[in-house]
Amino acid sequence: MPNSGVQLLGFSLAFLGFIGTIACTAMVEWKASSHAGGNIVTAQAMYEGLWKSCVWQSTGQIQCKIYDSLLQLPSNIQGTRALMCAAIFLCFISMMVTVVGLECTTCMAEQPQQKSKVALAGGVIFIIAGERLDTISVFMLTVKLYEFGSALYVGWGAACLCIIGGGFLCCMCSDKGPSGKGPRYPPSSSAGGRDYV
């Protein structure tokens, strides 16, 4: 049972990382820049994301523009889009694989060693997906005159959750067969096992 509990903890952390990955991809605050003119009324903040850019003015007005053409985008945005989509896909595949390998599920219950290996595979895929998220900063933060956006912090947190959750799943893999659920008695060892005529 402790093994099953740690597996559930790892899966829960990795699932939160998966949700964070989706949220990070959809957010527009990847890169932030602020500009203030001679008057505070003209202050504005500019945000760039993977899918659109937005300008926020101190008057409360927000204007967003979706990127028109994929081919006209800078290479760092195109690369980051590809990495994020790959990370989401890997997390989804890993979730499907891990559910089969969890001890608390009945899938492959008659093959405990194979079930444990499936859980290990799911954990490895989660770790790979988390590492893909960590490389995003290399693409997005090479541009000067911009600050870290909140989406980057969400992405780094999601990457950490995926890696930690995948690590728990990998550590709990064992080839010793099923973890004993309840006592096992040989047929002739029970007390009062004699038959009286």
Average pLDDT over residues 136-156: 73
Q: Locate tokens 């930690």: which residue?
A: 164
Is 92 exposed, middle or buried (CB count within 10 Å of its CB: 0-12, 13-18, 19+)?
A: middle
Q: What is the pLDDT of residue 13?
A: 92
- Taking CA 121 as the corner, what is the angle to CA 116 and CA 127, rounded to the nearest 5 degrees? 130
Helix locations, 38-174, DSSP H: 75-101, 112-134, 136-140, 150-171
Quickly state the pLDDT bin for 102 (edges 50, 70, 90). Answer: confident
Q: What is the pTM of this model?
A: 0.74
Can you tell me the distance from the alpha carbon of 33 to that of 51, in angstroms, rounded to the nearest whole number?
17
Q: What is the pLDDT of residue 155?
A: 87
Question: What's the full length of the chain, in residues?
Answer: 197
Average pLDDT over residues 165-177: 72
Measure CA of the first residue to CA of the last residue in the chain; give whole Å.
41
Quickly state the pLDDT bin for 197 (edges 50, 70, 90). Answer: very low
Domains and CATH numbers, the chain: 2-28+72-171 (1.20.140.150)
How many other C-beta atoms can be found within 10 angstroms of the C-beta atom of residue 186? 7
- Condensed to tens digits (0 to 9), the pLDDT of residues 103-132 reads 877 777 788 788 888 888 888 989 888 887
